[in-house]
Amino acid sequence: MIEINLLQEQKKKGGAIAKRAPGKKFEPQKSLIFACLGIAVAAVAAVDYKFYMDLKSVQADLKRVSKAMESPTHVGKLNEAKELQTELDTLNRKKAIIVDLIENRIHWSKKLGKLRDNLPADIWIERVELSNPGNTRDDPFQTLQIGAATTNYERGYARVAETIERLDASEDFMHGFLPPLIDTEIRNEKWDPSGRDEAVDAMVCRFTFEAKRPLPVTETNQKKR
């Protein structure tokens, strides 16, 4: 009968293990950390590679577009587009001039008719002057100056105020003018201040008033800057 000492075999194995790794413990978490670091490095490398490939693609697109813009066909189309834009700008300016003429044109014969229709019965017109400014850049207004008179000189100021009030209220007369009308001069004097007409010795009240009309673009001499 053969006896086997199992305890002795285990002691031998344990001693061998102790000789192989004396004083060291097995730490599985370190292996896991190293594995995670390896994965992270690989992921960063993959992202960097993707960015690099994207950059190369964008650079290729820029080069292609730049080359296309320098091609004779593209340059020709750009020149054609510039010519069309210039023509369009010219047409728009002509349109603005035509619209300006239509909207701001004044029929002076009709304007004077409305002046006559709105005057009080004892007022008459002695003088009408239309003046343009010498430099429309500094003074872009046209001035209509009207000299009138009345034999009712004792109520001269009241008659002047009534005349201007009636004309200010007339939309047809004031069309194109800046309200209100301005009285510039009022004086009482003989019918003929020079005294040459001795037969007429009546006193009259003479007054002057004016209206300002903003000049439209088509009637100014402003230079383009």
Domain boundaries, the chain: 58-100, 108-193+202-217
Other CB atoms within a 10 A radius of the CB of residue 167 amount to 21
Q: What is the pLDDT of residue 89?
A: 82
Q: What is the pLDDT of residue 85?
A: 80
- Please list the alpha-helical segments (H only) found in the chain: 6-20, 28-69, 72-104, 108-117, 156-168, 171-174
Q: What is the pLDDT of residue 166?
A: 94
203-214 β-sheet, strand order: 123-131, 141-150, 203-214, 178-190
Architecture of domain 108-193+202-217: 2-Layer Sandwich (3.30)
**What is the full per-residue pLDDT of the chain (225 aa) written as tens digits?**
545 454 454 444 454 444 444 545 555 555 666 666 667 666 656 666 776 777 777 777 777 766 766 666 766 777 877 887 887 787 777 777 667 666 667 788 888 899 999 999 899 999 999 887 766 667 788 899 999 999 998 998 999 999 999 999 999 999 889 989 999 999 999 888 776 666 566 889 999 999 998 887 666 654 443
Beta bridge partners of 207: 148, 186
- HSE-CB for 103 with a 13 A CA cutoff: 11
Please give the DSSP secondary-structure letter assigned to residue 151. Answer: S
Beta bridge partners of 102: none
Contact (Cβ atoms closer than 8 angstroms) between residue 180 and residue 167: no
Q: What is the pLDDT of residue 35?
A: 66
